[in-house]
Every structure is written in C-alpha cells, then in structure tokens.
Amino acid sequence: MDEINQDLLQVNLDALTENELRKLLTLYMTQQKLGLYWERNQIEHDKALNNNSVFLRFADEQGKSLSVGTPPYRNLIIEGDNFDALRCLRITHTNKIRVIYIDPPYNTGNKDWVYNDRYVNKDDRYKASMWLEFLYRRLILARDLLTSDGVIMVSINDENRAKLELLMDKVFQGMRLGSFAWRTKDTGNDSGGNFSAVHEHILVYARGEFSFNGNSLNTKKYRNPNNADPKGPSALNPITKAHTYKDRPNTYYPIQDPNTGYWYPCDPDRVWAYASETKLKPDSKIRAETIESYLRQNLIVFPECKPEDLLYYATKDELLSAIHAGKGPMLPQKKTPLFREDLPDLDFWVDKQIAPGRPSKKAYLNEKTSLISPVSSWIGGIKEDFDEEDEDAIFFMRSQKGREGTDAINEILGAKAFNYPKPPSLIMELLRQASKPNDIILDFFAGSGTTAQAVLQLNKEDKGNRQFILVSNNEAPPNDPENKNLCRDVCAARVRRVIEGYNNRKATGGNFAYCRMEKLNHADVVQDLDEEVIWNSLCLKHRNELLPYLTKKLNIIYQDNETAVIFCPHLDDETITNLIDLSSRQIILYSNRPQSAAELLTPYKNIKSLSAIESIMQETGVVNVY
Ligand SMILES: C[S@@+](CC[C@H](N)C(=O)[O-])C[C@H]1O[C@@H](n2cnc3c(N)ncnc32)[C@H](O)[C@@H]1O
C-alpha cells in the first residue's frame, strides 16, 4: 500500500480485523487501473452503506408542520444528506423515478460538500478523489431508482466534465445518450487566452426505452387552399444549407425556372441544399435527389416575378459596375449582395434574365415520416442567432438571460439567498423535453429548489401531474447544525411561495410534505421503529404520496374495487372483523405479527399477510456496489 492510500484511509489500521485487512490489501493490489481511478477507502465505504437504515418522518417545529398544502402530499422535500435520502428512496421508489436532474457541487469552491462528516477544503490533497467517491456512492444508489425508460441529467462545468463523464460511464454503463452545452451568460468573459468560458454541460444517461419528447412540427404552415392539390396540404421550405461556395463547390450553381426561363443565382455564403446533375461526374453514385429531379417533379416553386423586376447585364462591365454600385442581385430579406467580384462564375451571368427572390421546395405534410424533430445538443442563449429557417433542422432549446437564476430567487424571497442557482427556464426546458405529465422527478442536490419551481410551473402550463422529490441539506457546519438551514429557509420557503403565488405571479397550486430522516442501527430497527415511520414508508411505496398517520387500528394505505393494501400494526378481534368485511378484495396486510395474522385469517385466501418491518428492511441498508 503506497503512502497516498495510507493517508487517505484515515482509519485506525490496528482496529481492523484480519479479514478486513486482507480484503483491503487484496483490493489495493488488484484494483483495476485502466479508466477512471480514484483513491477510495473500501472499508469505510462498506460500513457507510451497510451500517444502518434510514427512515422518513414528517418534520414539525414548535408543533407546527413544515409541510405545505393539504394531504395527500404528492411532492416531497427531504432535509438532510442525500446519501441517506437515496437509501430511504430505495425502499419506496426503486424503478419509479423517470427523470433525475442533479446539479452537484462542482468541486471548485471551498467547502461546498461534506465527505465523511467533514467539509473538504479547497486545497485538500485528495479533494478530487473524495469528490468522485462522494458522487459515486450517490449515483450508484440513484441508478436503481430509475424506471426502464428513465433518464438522469447532470449539470457540470467545463473543468470537471471529463472526470464526471468517466464516472457516469462507470455507473451508468451503456446508458450514455450524450450531453447538452448551454450558455450561462449572454455577455462574454475572458477567462484567459482570449477564451470566453460561458458555457456548462449537462450529461445525459438514459435507459434503453427513454427518448426526449422532441419538438412537434408546426403543421399550421401546411396549406391546401380549396383542396386544389390532390396530394394534400403542403408548405414551402428554403432549399439552402449553411455552407459557403468554397466548402461545397458542387452545390453552388445557378437554377433556371423551366417555365419562365429566368435565372436564380446561388448565395455564395449559403449554397443550395441539393446537388445538380450538371455538376456530377458521370460515374457518380449520388443517392440523394438532385435539383433537376425535383424540378421534373414540379416540387421547386419560384416566386412570382414581374418583367420589370428582372435584372439584365449585356456585358461583364455592366455587371461589374452594378456590383460596385451595390445594385446587383440581392438576398431579398437580408439585402446582402449575391454577386461579388471574387466569385468564379461571373461570366455566366452576362446576357441572362436574373430574377429576384428565392426558389423554395414544396413539402407535403403526408410525406413527412415523423412529425417530431429531435432536440439538439445545444441550449442556446437568449441572444444567440440560429438557423431557424431550415425546417428539417434539429430543434434547439433556449435558456434565458444570464442571472436569471439569481433574479428568480431574489424575486421570490426578496434577498440573495443562494449563490449560483440554475435558471428556472433551463430546468423547465429540460423537463419539457425529458418528462411526461405523470412522471416523478428527483433532484437530490436541490439547493434552492429550482427544480421544484420548474416542475410546478410546467405542470401549470401543460396541466401535468408531475411529482417532485427534492433533497436539500441545511448547509450548516456538521458540528453546528443549528447554524443555518438552507432546506427549510430557502428551498422549502421558495417552493411554498411558488405554490401559493408571490408578487404578481399566480399560484401554481400543489403541495409538499417536508420530511427529515432518522437513522437506526439494523439491530435496533425491530424494537425502535415506530408505527408512523413504517406507515410513511408503506404509504410512499404503495401510493407514491404521503398521508399523515392517524394511528388507527386498521389503516388503509390504498384501495380500489379489486385490491386493498392495509397496515394493521396490532391485530385484535375488531380489526379482524373489519378486515374480513373488506375481503371481497385481494388484500395485502402489513402487520407486526404476520405469522399470527396468517393463522387467524387462514380461511380468507385472498388476504396475504406480510411483515411490515421486514418489507421495509429488505430494500434498505445493504447495498452491494461491486
Ligand atoms: C450547485 S448546488 C445546486 C443548486 C440548485 N440546482 C439550484 O438551482 O438551486 C449544490 C447543492 O448541493 C448541496 N449539497 C452538497 N452536498 C450535499 C449532500 N451530501 N446532500 C444534500 N445536498 C448536498 C450543496 O449544499 C448545494 O446546495
């Protein structure tokens, strides 16, 4: 074992058993070095995962609930370390989360995350390894929560992208879909070397069945006045591509309208999208359609042109003087010249009738193979100029102006309560693309709660029923937990205001349960776990929402005409009678004494007795990540 690993271990080697020492040694000797490697403390890792179980409890302070709205609570804000929260969610939400978005600490600032109960200093020798280990533990747990069509999107800055991507490749093997780059500011920022670093990344990993929603094609522009065209509605699309005549000399050529004989010059900075047979070599095996083939099919439409609008040059000198006087053919909208002295084909244009305007191509709606265009990997800034002309172009998302995230919080909470929140419009766009209206969306580095705001606003906009689960820590120093409470005072306060309305913004409606976590050693669970906590887990597991526990003898978690899920911690004659009354349904009965319940209910074959505690314990705690 080298010096580095010894340092990192920070454990008392003398206290380890022989077996533990042996395991440690074998691991360090055989550890794979290819790919991403970071120093990790295997023993602590195992212990942290397997030592105890974690459970959720409604939080209140001075007898007042911190939850907002009325039950059943469809959304959750969990205060505390997300490692524990993810372990809780393994009990209740395995394979249920369709979208995870996280914006973890980027490991750049001082003290922005806690490793093994201590903040890691900026100059810590193993900061990068600890950061990777910190994320690894959490990502492993998060992976199991995804549905078979689930997706995880992770924000990261340019500096740490490579490391995180390798880590993601390791955890989400075979699931890499790609990444988005988004513009963080609409102004420049010289970060040295004449380089303006104003973008960040969002890495996207998804299970096989996932797809982004894409963008529906705008079908309004497809028309068929008086149903005159038997092929149905059509639209006119530009026939140019963003390449210069130097890049694509083969698609730089003049087009002639076969009916009028008028000629249309090519834009030297934006050539035609289709090849011309006049430019193809005789043995060329081009598979795409040529402009001539579209002309023969009558699919190229030329603008109407009056004879007095035509341009004509009898000699090259006339043409050159027109160019010098800025009176040559122009692009109709941008008014940029189509002819320049340096262009190779000027002689061609002598003695030709040159028409203004641009030809376009007819596209029939019923020939579209898909009415959805895919989302692009670029999220444009508000001022960025994109080629939106091309209807076959991929669809890009936009984020709003820089500072939007901070302004959003200031507007809601009236003060700068959080550094570097994400812009709500960015998260909204991601969710608009990645989520469906009934999805559960998880953000376990929720910070100031931007994701909840985005979910609530998106639901309001498209009448969706998306649910959110947010985990936010209190950001208090570990040895002084009362010092600060980010989760309560910023995240939950913000989400409450969005739900209830603020300034002149209308309420989005909705609610959330505010929960804290309780840790119990495995050995103490049976004795110490109380009914309320069991109820919370069962409720989330079977309903995906939380109801306060009413401490009745027979607690219906869920029922419809065919099934009922019931929690009866203690069975007595009255409870048994009530259960039998319900037994026209299939019943899943959770109790503390499933054995005796099964005996008492033997004649009722459609009642299945389960141990409440065991059913919770089975999925918590022990996690094998190797
Ligand atoms: C980059 S911020 C997220 C900001 C968030 N996207 C927003 O718009 O407000 C990361 C957050 O994760 C929190 N965090 C760090 N370690 C955590 C942990 N172990 N459990 C929960 N949250 C943690 C940090 O305190 C910080 O609030």
* 179-201 burial: b if 16+ Cβ within 10 Å, else e: bbbbbbebeeeeeeeeeeebbbb
Q: Are 148 and 95 in contact (CB under 8 A)?
A: yes
> Among the residues of 51-146, which ranges form H helices?
82-92, 127-143
Q: Name the residue of 89, 100, 106, 113 whose CB sits within 8 Å of the most ligand 1 atoms, as the mutation to test its pocket.
A: 113
Alpha carbons 196 and 540: distance in angstroms, whole number: 47
Question: Nearest Cα to 372, choosing from 205, 239, 219?
Answer: 219
How many alpha carbons lie under 13 Å from residue 236 in its C-beta half-sphere? 8
Instruction: Please give the pLDDT value at position 251.
Output: 93
Helix (H, G, I), strand (E, B) or coil at 441: strand
Instruction: Please give the pLDDT value at position 46.
Output: 57
- Taking CA atoms only, the protein residue closest to ligand 1 atom 5 is 447
Structure tokens at 427: 């998260």
Alpha carbons 449 and 447: distance in angstroms, whole number: 6
Helix (H, G, I), strand (E, B) or coil at 495: helix
Instruction: Please give the pLDDT value at position 208.
Output: 93
Ligand 1 centroid from CA 35, angstroms: 27
Residues of the chain falling short of pLDDT 70: 1-11, 31-34, 41-50, 286, 334, 385-394, 400, 618-626
Alpha carbons 428 and 435: distance in angstroms, whole number: 10
**Cα-Cα-Cα-Cα dihedral of 215, 217, 218, 224, to 10°?**
-170
Alpha carbons 334 and 184: distance in angstroms, whole number: 29
Question: Nearest Cα to 492, choosing from 546, 444, 453?
Answer: 453
Instruction: Please give the pLDDT value at position 621.
Output: 44
Place of tokens 């009745």: 552
Instruction: Please give the pLDDT value at position 446.
Output: 98
pLDDT digits (tens, 9 = 90+) for 130-147: 899 899 989 999 999 999
Q: Give the number of the atom of ligand 1 that is nearest the alpha carbon of residue 443.
A: 6
CA 189 to chain centre: 26
Instruction: Please state the CATH superfamily assignment of the domain spanning residues 32-216+378-519 in this structure.
Output: Vaccinia Virus protein VP39 (3.40.50.150)
Place of tokens 């040895």: 479
Alpha carbons 251 and 273: distance in angstroms, whole number: 7
Instruction: Please give the pLDDT value at position 2.
Output: 45
Q: Give the number of the atom of ligand 1 that is nearest the alpha carbon of residue 450.
A: 8
Angle, nearest 10°, between helix axes 404-413 and 450-462?
A: 90
The contacts of residue 577 (CB under 8 Å, 6+ apart) are none
Q: Are 350 and 343 in contact (CB under 8 A)?
A: no
Instruction: Please give the pLDDT value at position 626.
Output: 34
Instruction: Please give the pLDDT value at position 1.
Output: 41
Q: Give the number of the atom of ligand 1 that is nearest the alpha carbon of residue 418.
A: 9
Ligand 1 centroid from CA 444, angstroms: 8
Which residue ranges have their beta carbon within 6 Å of ligand 1? 81-82, 103-105, 112-114, 405, 418, 421-422, 445, 447-448, 450, 471-473, 475, 486
In this structure, the chain runs to a length of 626
- Taking CA atoms only, the protein residue closest to ligand 1 atom 16 is 113
β-strand partners of 216: 372
- Taking CA atoms only, the protein residue closest to ligand 1 atom 25 is 475
The contacts of residue 217 (CB under 8 Å, 6+ apart) are 368, 371, 372, 373, 391
Q: Are 235 and 223 in contact (CB under 8 A)?
A: yes
Helix (H, G, I), strand (E, B) or coil at 270: strand
Ligand 1 centroid from CA 488, angstroms: 13
Domains of the chain by residue range: 1-31, 32-216+378-519, 218-369, 552-626
